Amino acid sequence: MAGARLEAAKRAASVIVEALGPRDRISIVSFASDVQIHVDGSACDDAGRDAAVAALAALEPRGSTNLAAGWFQGAECVARVESIHSGSQCRVLMLSDGMANQGLVEPAELAVHASAMRDRGIFTSCVGIGDDYSTEQMQALADHGGGRMHDAERPGEIAEVVVAELRDMAHAAAEAVRVELRAPAGVRVVALGGFPTQSLNDGLACVIGSLPAGARRRAIFRLTCPAGKLGDALALQVSGAWRVPGSGAELQLDRLAPSVQFAPGRDNSAQSRDIASSIEVAQTWQADIVRAAIRMNRDGRVREAAAWLMQQLRHFERYARDLPGGAALIDELQRTARRVMRPMHERSRKEIDLAMYQRVRLQADARHEKRAEWGAFLD
């Protein structure tokens, strides 16, 4: 990171420093081909804030991007503070404008380590700057780290998204939120929406992450059931759990016990439909399809992306065509199928992916200068 981006990132980090109080602790780590600790768990009293701001001002550009090493070091600094000051809210905020090209680079491996940190109570959020950062690498850290992924296309937007992240951290009502669905043997459970999942012996856990006060999230599961006898029922169990920020105490919701009953197709089709829930399912399903096609386009698999999307569209159309707004969702997928057959500009890919990410998480764009609707990036 260099030039205007580096200066803007330094100003954004200074915003965090100035917003913290004497009871807070901060560490500042920079990474390139090497990793440097500039501030290590310092108290944010007047002297500590002045020292942190001075350390930020002195940062200079260096070469390469060992993102994982920088993240590991930041998490280690946080863990040291927590070992002394137990009960703290432990957060790592990663800012990067480049793709990791040294050290650990595979998104799946980053996800495993981020999940382990989250289970230890250390949560990660990320800010990708410009067009050259890896969406897959950064989202792996943020999603599995229980935090949030932000995009700052322009230098001036770095501070905007950092302030939004700081606000969410300060007003966190729950951390490590998870919803579990347990089902009988033979039932295949898949979560929609791109949230991290954990396999259970008899089902699936969907890891929602942190939840600010007043915010809403939704977990949507798709069940594939085996053949059964008419009148028989499949008993399900749904439960939820989360941690109280700053205490580590875990709370749980009472389990719900819905069931699915085997019936003739005509009886199933005759059931009244929950329109509001069906629309949410369709929107989330569409987002999953679009994001997967965009990843294929980024990898250069343009024909595969279009063929896969059209295959998904055949199933999606049957589900969504009779819903309010369903025709628009179908049309957007058809347009996406045509567009992903050709290489796309990376900014278009990032804006489409971000719009889908924010839709399924019911999150607003933290950037003040709003973009066009995501469909405009298909033109």
Query: pLDDT 10s digit of each residue in the chain, 379 long?
Result: 788 888 888 888 888 888 888 888 999 999 988 999 999 999 999 999 999 999 999 988 887 789 999 999 999 999 999 888 776 788 999 999 888 888 889 999 999 999 999 988 899 999 999 999 999 999 999 999 999 999 999 988 998 998 898 888 888 899 999 999 999 999 999 999 999 999 999 999 999 999 999 999 999 999 999 988 998 999 999 999 999 987 778 999 889 999 999 999 888 888 899 999 999 999 999 999 999 999 999 999 999 999 999 999 999 999 999 999 999 999 999 999 999 999 999 999 999 999 999 999 999 999 999 899 999 999 8
The C-alpha atoms of residue 4 and residue 157 are separated, in whole angstroms, by 12
The C-alpha atoms of residue 225 and residue 229 are separated, in whole angstroms, by 12
> In angstroms, how far is the first alpha carbon of the chain from the final one?
31
The C-alpha atoms of residue 9 and residue 63 are separated, in whole angstroms, by 17
Contacts 24+ apart (CB under 8 A), 368-371: 368/157, 368/160, 369/154, 369/157
Q: Which tokens is 160 given?
A: 């905007």
- Asked whether the domain spanning 174-270 has the same topology as the one spanning 3-170, the reply is no
Architecture of domain 174-270: Sandwich (2.60)
The model's pTM: 0.91
Is 111:267 a contact under the CB 8 Å cutoff?
A: no
Is 3.40.50.410 the CATH number for 3-170? Answer: yes
Q: Which tokens is 191 given?
A: 């979560």
Is 207:146 a contact under the CB 8 Å cutoff?
A: yes
Task: List 263's β-bridge partners, or say none.
Answer: none
Residue 210 makes CB contacts below 8 A (sequence gap 6+) with 123, 146, 147, 148, 168, 169, 172, 174, 175, 176, 177, 245
The C-alpha atoms of residue 63 and residue 238 are separated, in whole angstroms, by 49
What are the domain boundaries of the chain? 3-170, 174-270, 275-378
